């Protein structure tokens, strides 16, 4: 199976869908002549022309609105935000228009649009360019929210997103663009609402998505040396959420840690922890633990940014906590 980069998998997904369906087009900042801010759309302008790979001004609310209108009239736009931090400028178009038009029109207008781009921190980009905003969009009915962690998932999920008749928020990690993985040559789709068990284990479940999956893997490798077997579940889509797969894992292990890049208050980790405890309370041997950013805006300084972000050691500490490995024997519930 070919090994390609995450950015190449996204490029393949968009190119294949544009070849398959002439109603699909890409529009956004630097997607054409510059070949994409992160080279995701490299070669697509030359292949499809400037009517289907459209460079825009830095006016997110404008071109997001154009995309919503195009989707209402039968096209399938892919709207690229250079970074999802910039989606805040267009959040009115995403939440008040794209997410609500199907319901408010009584089903007369579908909005088959994909809003995609880089999210999360990427290393000393400062507070305004290092935010994880997925919980803003997961909160809103009418949107689907996707955050793939591997090139394989990125391609299969993006193709599904482009074919979906509903608006999809598709958030990629800037730090994953250069990562590599196996991606089949042939056509494949990954359905929404189907989580993936990235690593099978026995003692504790870690729920993680996007680049936090790699961080969880690093923690799991270190824990394995201590004799702790960790299972890692990647939801892949946050809305719709495959709670069944997550709960099945937690029922097996009896313990759970949720890892999320982003602020703790009202974040995705909080929602996951609640839903897990509601669905699997009787199987839990400890409360669900969260690993998140610290509750501050991301600093620019490298050493301070590292303190704010999740890391493998914080995940290991959380796993040890839910397993009572640092507690006296009497506090572990052992005879």
Q: What is the pLDDT of residues 8-51, one digit of tens each?
A: 999 999 999 999 999 999 999 999 999 999 999 999 999 999 99
Told to judge if 129 belongs to the known catalytic residues of this protein, a careful annotator would answer: yes
Distance CA 16, CA 28 (A): 19
36 token code pair? 């994409």
Percent of the chain with pLDDT over 70: 97
Residue 330 has pLDDT above 50, yes or no: no
**What confidence tens digit (pLDDT) does each residue in 111-131 have?**
999 999 999 998 899 999 999
Number of other residues whose CB lies within 10 A of the CB of residue 123: 11
Told to judge if 203 belongs to the known catalytic residues of this protein, a careful annotator would answer: no
What angle, rounded to 10 degrees, do the helices at 243-253 and 268-280 form?
A: 60
Positive or negative: CA dihedral 324, 325, 331, 335: positive
Residue 255 near residue 204 (C-beta atoms within 8 A): yes
Helix boundaries (H) for 105-211: 134-138, 151-163
**pLDDT attached to residue 327:** 57
Positive or negative: CA dihedral 261, 264, 265, 268: positive
237 pairs with which residues across the strands?
146
Catalytic residue among 8, 17, 80, 129: 129
170 pairs with which residues across the strands?
116, 146
Distance CA 120, CA 215 (A): 14
| Average of per-residue pLDDT across 205-211 | 98
| Average of per-residue pLDDT across 206-233 | 97
Question: What's the pLDDT band for 326 if we cut at 50, 70, 90?
Answer: confident
Residue 160 has pLDDT above 70, yes or no: yes
The separation between CA 168 and the C-alpha centre of its own chain, rounded to angstroms, equals 12
289 pairs with which residues across the strands?
257
Question: What's the pLDDT band for 332 if we cut at 50, 70, 90?
Answer: very low
Q: What are the two backbone dihedrals, phi and then psi, of residue 126, each rounded to the nearest 5 degrees?
A: 85, 170
Contacts of 298 (CB under 8 A, 6+ apart): 121, 125, 126, 127, 130, 131, 305, 308, 309
Contacts of 294 (CB under 8 A, 6+ apart): 307, 308
**pLDDT attached to residue 328:** 53
Distance CA 18, CA 75 (A): 11
What is the model's pTM?
0.94
**What confidence tens digit (pLDDT) does each residue in 238-284 have?**
999 999 999 999 999 999 999 999 999 999 999 999 999 999 999 99
| Average of per-residue pLDDT across 207-231 | 97
Catalytic residue among 60, 134, 261, 305: 60
In the three-class reduction of DSSP (H, G, I as helix; E, B as strand; rest coil), residue 80 is classed as strand
168 pairs with which residues across the strands?
114, 144
Of residues 39, 40, 266, the one with CA closest to residue 133: 266
């Amino acid at each position: 199976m070919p090994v390609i980069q995450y950015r190449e998998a996204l490029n393949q997904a968009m190119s294949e869908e544009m070849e398959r369906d002439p109603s699909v087009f890409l529009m956004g900042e630097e997607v054409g002549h510059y070949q994409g801010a992160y080279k995701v759309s490299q070669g697509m302008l030359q292949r499809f022309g400037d009517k289907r790979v459209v460079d825009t001004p830095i006016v997110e609310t404008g071109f997001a609105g154009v995309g919503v209108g195009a989707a209402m009239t039968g096209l399938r736009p892919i709207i690229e935000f250079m970074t999802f931090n910039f989606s805040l400028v267009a959040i009115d178009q995403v939440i008040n228009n794209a997410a609500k038009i199907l319901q408010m029109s009584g089903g007369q207008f579908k909005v088959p649009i994909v809003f995609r781009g880089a999210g999360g921190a990427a290393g000393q980009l400062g507070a305004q360019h290092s935010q994880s905003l997925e919980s803003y969009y997961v909160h809103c009915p009418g949107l689907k929210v996707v955050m793939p962690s591997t090139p394989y998932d990125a391609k299969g999920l993006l193709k599904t997103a482009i074919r979906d008749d509903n608006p999809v928020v598709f958030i990629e990690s800037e730090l994953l663009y250069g990562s590599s993985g196996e991606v089949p040559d042939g056509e494949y789709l990954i359905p929404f609402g189907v989580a993936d068990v990235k690593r099978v284990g026995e003692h504790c479940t870690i729920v993680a998505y996007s680049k936090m999956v790699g961080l969880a893997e690093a923690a799991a490798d270190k824990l394995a040396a201590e004799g702790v077997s960790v299972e890692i579940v990647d939801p892949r889509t946050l809305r719709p959420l495959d709670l069944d797969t997550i709960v099945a894992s937690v029922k097996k292990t009896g313990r759970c840690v949720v890892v999320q890049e982003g602020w703790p208050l009202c974040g995705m980790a909080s929602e996951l922890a609640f839903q897990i405890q509601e669905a699997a309370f009787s199987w839990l041997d400890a409360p669900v633990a969260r690993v998140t950013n610290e509750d501050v805006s991301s600093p620019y300084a490298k050493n301070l940014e590292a303190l704010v972000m999740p890391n493998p050691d914080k995940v290991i500490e959380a796993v040890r906590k839910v397993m009572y490995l640092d507690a006296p024997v009497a506090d572990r519930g052992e005879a």
